[in-house]
Protein backbone atom coordinates (compact mmCIF):
# COMPACT_ATOMS: atom_id res chain seq x y z
CA UNK A 1 0.00 0.00 0.00
CA UNK A 2 1.25 3.48 -0.89
CA UNK A 3 -0.72 6.69 -0.51
CA UNK A 4 -0.02 10.26 -1.58
CA UNK A 5 -2.35 12.35 0.54
CA UNK A 6 -5.87 11.07 -0.04
CA UNK A 7 -4.92 9.16 -3.19
CA UNK A 8 -3.94 5.49 -3.07
CA UNK A 9 -1.20 4.94 -5.66
CA UNK A 10 -0.91 1.27 -4.68
CA UNK A 11 -3.72 -0.81 -3.23
CA UNK A 12 -3.17 -4.52 -2.62
CA UNK A 13 -0.81 -4.87 -5.57
CA UNK A 14 0.61 -8.39 -5.81
CA UNK A 15 3.47 -8.52 -8.31
CA UNK A 16 5.55 -11.61 -9.06
CA UNK A 17 8.42 -11.60 -11.56
CA UNK A 18 9.68 -15.14 -12.30
CA UNK A 19 13.42 -15.74 -12.23
CA UNK A 20 15.22 -15.84 -15.57
CA UNK A 21 12.26 -14.32 -17.42
CA UNK A 22 11.24 -11.00 -18.93
CA UNK A 23 8.27 -9.56 -17.04
CA UNK A 24 6.46 -6.64 -18.68
CA UNK A 25 4.46 -4.35 -16.37
CA UNK A 26 1.79 -2.48 -18.33
CA UNK A 27 -0.69 0.14 -17.24
CA UNK A 28 -2.17 3.53 -18.16
CA UNK A 29 -0.59 6.73 -16.86
CA UNK A 30 -1.23 6.98 -13.13
CA UNK A 31 -2.03 3.28 -12.75
CA UNK A 32 0.64 2.78 -10.06
CA UNK A 33 3.23 0.83 -12.01
CA UNK A 34 6.05 3.36 -11.53
CA UNK A 35 5.40 3.56 -7.78
CA UNK A 36 5.42 -0.24 -7.58
CA UNK A 37 8.69 -0.59 -9.47
CA UNK A 38 10.39 2.24 -7.57
CA UNK A 39 9.37 0.55 -4.32
CA UNK A 40 11.04 -2.65 -5.54
CA UNK A 41 14.13 -0.64 -6.47
CA UNK A 42 14.29 0.86 -2.97
CA UNK A 43 13.62 4.37 -4.27
CA UNK A 44 10.27 4.65 -2.45
CA UNK A 45 9.09 3.29 0.87
CA UNK A 46 5.61 1.70 0.84
CA UNK A 47 3.25 2.54 3.68
CA UNK A 48 2.50 -1.15 4.23
CA UNK A 49 3.04 -4.53 2.61
CA UNK A 50 6.00 -6.82 2.02
CA UNK A 51 8.58 -6.55 -0.77
CA UNK A 52 11.30 -9.07 -1.51
CA UNK A 53 13.82 -8.64 -4.32
CA UNK A 54 16.02 -11.68 -4.92
CA UNK A 55 14.81 -12.81 -1.50
CA UNK A 56 16.02 -9.61 0.19
CA UNK A 57 14.38 -6.48 1.57
CA UNK A 58 15.17 -3.60 -0.85
CA UNK A 59 15.40 -1.12 2.00
CA UNK A 60 17.14 -3.09 4.73
CA UNK A 61 19.46 -4.99 2.34
CA UNK A 62 20.17 -2.10 0.00
CA UNK A 63 23.94 -2.46 0.20
CA UNK A 64 23.85 -6.12 -0.86
CA UNK A 65 21.30 -5.56 -3.62
CA UNK A 66 23.20 -2.61 -5.09
CA UNK A 67 25.63 -4.98 -6.80
CA UNK A 68 23.01 -7.51 -7.90
CA UNK A 69 20.35 -5.22 -9.36
CA UNK A 70 20.60 -2.96 -12.41
CA UNK A 71 18.24 -0.02 -12.83
CA UNK A 72 17.51 1.89 -16.02
CA UNK A 73 15.44 4.99 -15.32
CA UNK A 74 13.61 6.71 -18.18
CA UNK A 75 15.27 10.02 -17.40
CA UNK A 76 18.59 8.21 -17.11
CA UNK A 77 19.70 9.61 -13.74
CA UNK A 78 23.08 10.25 -15.39
CA UNK A 79 25.57 13.07 -14.62
CA UNK A 80 24.79 15.66 -17.28
CA UNK A 81 28.27 17.18 -17.54
CA UNK A 82 30.27 13.97 -18.03
CA UNK A 83 31.12 12.38 -21.40
CA UNK A 84 29.16 9.22 -22.21
CA UNK A 85 32.16 6.88 -22.27
CA UNK A 86 33.49 8.26 -18.99
CA UNK A 87 30.13 7.60 -17.32
CA UNK A 88 30.15 3.97 -18.42
CA UNK A 89 33.75 3.47 -17.36
CA UNK A 90 33.05 5.04 -13.96
CA UNK A 91 30.08 2.73 -13.34
CA UNK A 92 32.06 -0.32 -14.51
CA UNK A 93 34.77 0.37 -11.88
CA UNK A 94 32.16 -0.13 -9.14
CA UNK A 95 31.92 -3.86 -9.93
CA UNK A 96 34.36 -6.72 -9.43
CA UNK A 97 33.68 -8.40 -12.79
CA UNK A 98 31.92 -5.98 -15.17
CA UNK A 99 30.99 -6.76 -18.74
CA UNK A 100 33.52 -5.88 -21.40
CA UNK A 101 33.09 -2.14 -21.97
CA UNK A 102 34.30 -2.21 -25.56
CA UNK A 103 31.93 -5.03 -26.53
CA UNK A 104 28.91 -3.46 -24.80
CA UNK A 105 29.63 0.00 -26.19
CA UNK A 106 30.00 -1.43 -29.67
CA UNK A 107 26.77 -3.36 -29.74
CA UNK A 108 24.77 -0.39 -28.41
CA UNK A 109 26.49 2.11 -30.70
CA UNK A 110 27.96 4.19 -27.88
CA UNK A 111 31.29 4.76 -29.64
CA UNK A 112 29.67 7.29 -31.99
CA UNK A 113 29.04 9.68 -29.09
CA UNK A 114 31.63 8.49 -26.56
CA UNK A 115 33.08 11.99 -25.98
CA UNK A 116 29.74 13.82 -26.02
CA UNK A 117 28.50 15.01 -22.64
CA UNK A 118 25.27 13.50 -21.39
CA UNK A 119 23.41 16.84 -21.57
CA UNK A 120 24.10 17.00 -25.33
CA UNK A 121 22.93 13.46 -26.13
CA UNK A 122 19.69 12.85 -27.97
CA UNK A 123 16.92 11.05 -26.13
CA UNK A 124 17.71 7.77 -27.88
CA UNK A 125 21.44 8.06 -27.18
CA UNK A 126 20.74 8.73 -23.53
CA UNK A 127 18.51 5.66 -23.40
CA UNK A 128 21.25 3.44 -24.79
CA UNK A 129 23.79 4.79 -22.30
CA UNK A 130 21.34 4.28 -19.43
CA UNK A 131 20.82 0.67 -20.50
CA UNK A 132 24.56 0.09 -20.71
CA UNK A 133 25.11 1.41 -17.17
CA UNK A 134 22.26 -0.80 -15.90
CA UNK A 135 23.78 -4.04 -17.22
CA UNK A 136 27.55 -3.34 -17.11
CA UNK A 137 27.85 -4.93 -13.64
CA UNK A 138 26.37 -8.31 -14.70
CA UNK A 139 23.31 -7.99 -12.41
CA UNK A 140 21.00 -10.86 -11.52
CA UNK A 141 17.95 -8.60 -11.93
CA UNK A 142 17.43 -5.57 -14.18
CA UNK A 143 14.61 -3.01 -14.01
CA UNK A 144 14.03 -1.29 -17.35
CA UNK A 145 11.78 1.77 -17.67
CA UNK A 146 10.64 2.28 -21.28
CA UNK A 147 13.90 0.80 -22.66
CA UNK A 148 13.20 1.58 -26.33
CA UNK A 149 11.58 5.03 -25.91
CA UNK A 150 13.00 7.45 -28.46
CA UNK A 151 15.04 4.82 -30.29
CA UNK A 152 15.23 4.46 -34.05
CA UNK A 153 14.46 0.99 -35.51
CA UNK A 154 18.12 -0.07 -35.65
CA UNK A 155 18.77 0.86 -32.03
CA UNK A 156 15.51 -0.75 -30.91
CA UNK A 157 16.55 -4.06 -32.49
CA UNK A 158 19.94 -3.86 -30.76
CA UNK A 159 18.30 -3.20 -27.39
CA UNK A 160 15.77 -6.02 -27.82
CA UNK A 161 18.55 -8.44 -28.82
CA UNK A 162 20.49 -7.53 -25.68
CA UNK A 163 17.41 -8.04 -23.49
CA UNK A 164 16.86 -11.50 -25.01
CA UNK A 165 20.53 -12.38 -24.52
CA UNK A 166 20.41 -11.39 -20.85
CA UNK A 167 17.28 -13.46 -20.35
CA UNK A 168 18.98 -16.46 -21.96
CA UNK A 169 21.89 -15.98 -19.53
CA UNK A 170 19.44 -16.39 -16.64
CA UNK A 171 19.03 -12.70 -15.78
CA UNK A 172 15.59 -11.61 -14.58
CA UNK A 173 14.28 -8.48 -16.31
CA UNK A 174 11.31 -6.33 -15.33
CA UNK A 175 10.33 -3.72 -17.89
CA UNK A 176 7.64 -1.08 -17.86
CA UNK A 177 6.48 0.01 -21.29
CA UNK A 178 3.62 1.61 -23.19
CA UNK A 179 4.77 -0.12 -26.37
CA UNK A 180 2.55 -3.18 -26.82
CA UNK A 181 4.76 -4.47 -29.64
CA UNK A 182 7.76 -4.36 -27.31
CA UNK A 183 5.87 -6.25 -24.61
CA UNK A 184 4.63 -8.83 -27.13
CA UNK A 185 8.10 -9.36 -28.59
CA UNK A 186 10.02 -9.60 -25.32
CA UNK A 187 7.80 -10.64 -22.41
CA UNK A 188 7.55 -14.15 -21.02
CA UNK A 189 5.15 -12.85 -18.37
CA UNK A 190 2.85 -9.81 -18.56
CA UNK A 191 1.30 -7.96 -15.62
CA UNK A 192 -1.37 -5.32 -16.28
CA UNK A 193 -1.84 -2.76 -13.50
CA UNK A 194 -4.63 -0.24 -13.03
CA UNK A 195 -5.85 1.83 -10.06
CA UNK A 196 -2.97 0.51 -7.97
CA UNK A 197 -3.76 -3.19 -8.37
CA UNK A 198 -2.94 -6.06 -10.73
CA UNK A 199 -5.97 -6.67 -12.94
CA UNK A 200 -4.52 -9.38 -15.22
CA UNK A 201 -1.36 -11.48 -15.49
CA UNK A 202 -0.03 -14.29 -17.65
CA UNK A 203 1.87 -14.94 -20.85
CA UNK A 204 0.91 -13.05 -24.00
CA UNK A 205 -0.70 -16.22 -25.34
CA UNK A 206 -2.71 -16.69 -22.15
CA UNK A 207 -3.95 -13.11 -22.13
CA UNK A 208 -4.77 -13.19 -25.86
CA UNK A 209 -6.44 -16.59 -25.66
CA UNK A 210 -9.13 -15.90 -28.27
CA UNK A 211 -8.11 -18.08 -31.21
CA UNK A 212 -10.56 -16.52 -33.68
CA UNK A 213 -8.99 -13.62 -35.61
CA UNK A 214 -10.84 -10.41 -34.80
CA UNK A 215 -8.43 -7.91 -36.34
CA UNK A 216 -7.69 -7.04 -39.96
CA UNK A 217 -4.56 -5.15 -40.93
CA UNK A 218 -3.84 -3.52 -44.26
CA UNK A 219 -1.69 -0.91 -45.96
CA UNK A 220 -2.94 2.02 -48.01
CA UNK A 221 -2.39 5.72 -48.59
CA UNK A 222 -1.31 7.50 -45.38
CA UNK A 223 -3.75 9.81 -43.63
CA UNK A 224 -7.05 8.24 -44.72
CA UNK A 225 -10.15 9.63 -43.01
CA UNK A 226 -11.51 6.55 -41.23
CA UNK A 227 -14.76 8.05 -39.96
CA UNK A 228 -16.80 6.63 -42.86
CA UNK A 229 -15.25 3.20 -42.48
CA UNK A 230 -16.05 3.11 -38.78
CA UNK A 231 -19.70 3.85 -39.49
CA UNK A 232 -19.85 1.06 -42.08
CA UNK A 233 -18.28 -1.45 -39.69
CA UNK A 234 -21.01 -1.02 -37.08
CA UNK A 235 -21.16 -0.98 -33.29
CA UNK A 236 -18.12 -2.22 -31.37
CA UNK A 237 -15.74 -1.98 -34.33
CA UNK A 238 -12.75 0.34 -34.51
CA UNK A 239 -10.39 1.48 -37.23
CA UNK A 240 -7.10 3.25 -36.63
CA UNK A 241 -3.87 4.20 -38.38
CA UNK A 242 -1.14 2.55 -36.29
CA UNK A 243 1.66 4.12 -38.31
CA UNK A 244 1.72 6.08 -41.59
CA UNK A 245 -0.04 3.93 -44.18
CA UNK A 246 -0.62 0.96 -41.87
CA UNK A 247 -4.17 0.44 -40.62
CA UNK A 248 -5.92 -1.98 -38.32
CA UNK A 249 -9.62 -2.79 -38.07
CA UNK A 250 -10.92 -4.63 -35.01
CA UNK A 251 -14.38 -5.82 -34.01
CA UNK A 252 -15.88 -8.15 -31.38
CA UNK A 253 -16.63 -10.97 -33.86
CA UNK A 254 -14.23 -12.94 -36.09
CA UNK A 255 -13.00 -11.64 -39.44
CA UNK A 256 -15.04 -12.94 -42.38
CA UNK A 257 -15.09 -12.36 -46.17
CA UNK A 258 -17.79 -9.71 -45.77
CA UNK A 259 -15.47 -7.59 -43.60
CA UNK A 260 -12.63 -7.95 -46.09
CA UNK A 261 -14.95 -6.84 -48.91
CA UNK A 262 -16.20 -3.87 -46.89
CA UNK A 263 -12.68 -2.62 -46.22
CA UNK A 264 -11.49 -3.18 -49.79
CA UNK A 265 -14.54 -1.47 -51.33
CA UNK A 266 -14.33 1.44 -48.93
CA UNK A 267 -10.65 1.99 -49.77
CA UNK A 268 -11.27 1.63 -53.51
CA UNK A 269 -13.94 4.31 -53.30
CA UNK A 270 -11.23 6.68 -52.09
CA UNK A 271 -8.74 5.77 -54.77
CA UNK A 272 -6.68 3.60 -52.45
CA UNK A 273 -5.48 0.09 -53.26
CA UNK A 274 -5.41 -2.13 -50.17
CA UNK A 275 -2.22 -4.21 -49.87
CA UNK A 276 -0.77 -6.59 -47.25
CA UNK A 277 -4.28 -7.51 -46.13
CA UNK A 278 -4.14 -9.95 -43.23
CA UNK A 279 -6.26 -11.10 -40.31
CA UNK A 280 -4.98 -11.61 -36.80
CA UNK A 281 -6.26 -12.79 -33.46
CA UNK A 282 -6.68 -10.72 -30.34
CA UNK A 283 -3.60 -8.60 -29.66
CA UNK A 284 -2.10 -7.50 -26.36
CA UNK A 285 -3.24 -3.97 -27.15
CA UNK A 286 -6.81 -5.23 -27.59
CA UNK A 287 -6.67 -6.88 -24.17
CA UNK A 288 -5.09 -3.82 -22.57
CA UNK A 289 -7.78 -1.47 -23.92
CA UNK A 290 -10.56 -3.87 -22.99
CA UNK A 291 -9.33 -4.02 -19.38
CA UNK A 292 -8.31 -0.39 -18.85
CA UNK A 293 -10.71 1.45 -21.15
CA UNK A 294 -10.14 3.90 -23.99
CA UNK A 295 -10.52 7.21 -22.16
CA UNK A 296 -7.43 9.39 -21.77
CA UNK A 297 -5.72 9.55 -18.37
**pLDDT tens profile 51-95:** 999 999 998 999 999 999 999 987 767 999 999 999 999 999 999
Asked if residues 113 and 38 have their Cβ atoms less than 8 Å apart, the reply is: no
Closest to 4 measured CA to CA, from 51, 46, 52, 49: 46
Task: Tally the C-alpha atoms within 13 A of residue 275's C-alpha that lie toward its C-beta.
Answer: 9
Q: 98 CB contacts (<8 Å, ≥6 apart)? A: 92, 136, 137, 138
CA-to-CA distance for 135 and 141, rounded, in angstroms?
A: 9
Query: What's the confidence (pLDDT) of residue 254?
Result: 74
Query: What's the confidence (pLDDT) of residue 25?
Result: 96
Query: What's the confidence (pLDDT) of residue 76?
Result: 61
- At 79, is the secondary structure helix, strand, or coil? coil
Query: What's the confidence (pLDDT) of residue 125?
Result: 94
Query: What's the confidence (pLDDT) of residue 149?
Result: 87
Top-level class of domain 14-207: alpha beta
CA-to-CA distance for 147 and 156, rounded, in angstroms?
A: 9
CA-to-CA distance for 223 and 246, rounded, in angstroms?
A: 10
CA-to-CA distance for 255 and 278, rounded, in angstroms?
A: 10
CA-to-CA distance for 239 and 228, rounded, in angstroms?
A: 10
**Backbone φ and ψ of 64, nearest 5°:** -70, -40
CA-to-CA distance for 119 and 113, rounded, in angstroms?
A: 12
Query: What's the confidence (pLDDT) of residue 64?
Result: 93
**Interior angle at CA 90, CA 142 and CA 82, nearest 5:** 105
Q: Could you say which residues of the chain have pLDDT below 50?
A: none
Q: 251 CB contacts (<8 Å, ≥6 apart)? A: 214, 233, 234, 236, 237, 238, 259
Asked if residues 72 and 144 have their Cβ atoms less than 8 Å apart, the reply is: yes
| Dihedral, CA of residue 200, residue 139, residue 88 and residue 23, to nearest 10 | -10
What is the reported pTM?
Answer: 0.77
Asked if residues 26 and 192 have their Cβ atoms less than 8 Å apart, the reply is: yes
Asked if residues 192 and 12 have their Cβ atoms less than 8 Å apart, the reply is: no
Q: 200 CB contacts (<8 Å, ≥6 apart)? A: 190, 191, 192, 207, 287, 291
Query: What's the confidence (pLDDT) of residue 115?
Result: 97
Query: What's the confidence (pLDDT) of residue 221?
Result: 85
Query: What's the confidence (pLDDT) of residue 197?
Result: 87
Mutual orientation of helices 123-135 and 153-168 as an angle, nearest 10°? 10
Amino acid sequence: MKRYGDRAALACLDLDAPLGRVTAVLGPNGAGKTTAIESCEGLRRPDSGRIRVLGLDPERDRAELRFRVGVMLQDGGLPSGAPARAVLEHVARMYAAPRDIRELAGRLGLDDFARTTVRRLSGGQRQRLALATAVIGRPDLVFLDEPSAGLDPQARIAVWDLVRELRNEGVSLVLTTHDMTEATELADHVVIVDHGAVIAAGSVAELCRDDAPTALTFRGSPGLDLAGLRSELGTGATAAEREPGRYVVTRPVPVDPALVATVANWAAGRGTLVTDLASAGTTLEDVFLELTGRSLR
